[in-house]
Amino acid sequence: MEKMCDLAEFDVYSLADPEYFDWDKSFLAHGEAVVLIDKDKLGWMNPRQKIRYEGFLRTILDRCKTAFFEQTTVYYSVSLDEIAPFSIGLYGLESRRLLNAFVCEELEDEQYWKVWKILSAYGLRLFFK
């Protein structure tokens, strides 16, 4: 339980900014991701979108190593090997290489925003170590 508290102390903006969030002191191991999911997004989705979204959540929950709730955000810690195939399948990412490049911050600006836009449309934010 102590490991979970490390992440819970930080909000979304802190997680995105290494100046405020020290990944070395977090519970995340190398090659893992935190998926921040805004549950309020489910309210405006049509039934088909909602089914796909909830299916994604169930898949991640089944495979995640850590899950806990903070207000309206769900935090999951999963390995990149586990999350990548499902992200590609649900959101049409061009290839696993693209996601890996995103993780490694090697994407060109245009590619980065393309991936970010796809994820944001489903209320997903990915922050990688």
> Domain for residue 20, yes or no?
no
* Domain count for the chain: 1
pLDDT digits (tens, 9 = 90+) for 98-123: 334 334 344 455 554 555 555 555 44
E-only strand ranges, the chain: 32-38, 66-70, 73-79, 124-128
Task: Please give the residue range of the domain that contains residue 85.
Answer: 2-15+31-128
Q: Maximum CA pair distance of the chain?
A: 40
Long-range contacts of 111-118 (CB under 8 A, 24+ apart): 118/91, 118/92, 118/93
> Domain for residue 23, yes or no?
no
Q: Please, which residues bridge with residue 33 across strands?
A: 78, 128
> Domain for residue 85, yes or no?
yes
> Domain for residue 21, yes or no?
no
Tell me if the pTM is above 0.75: no
pLDDT digits (tens, 9 = 90+) for 68-96: 443 334 444 444 444 444 443 333 333 33
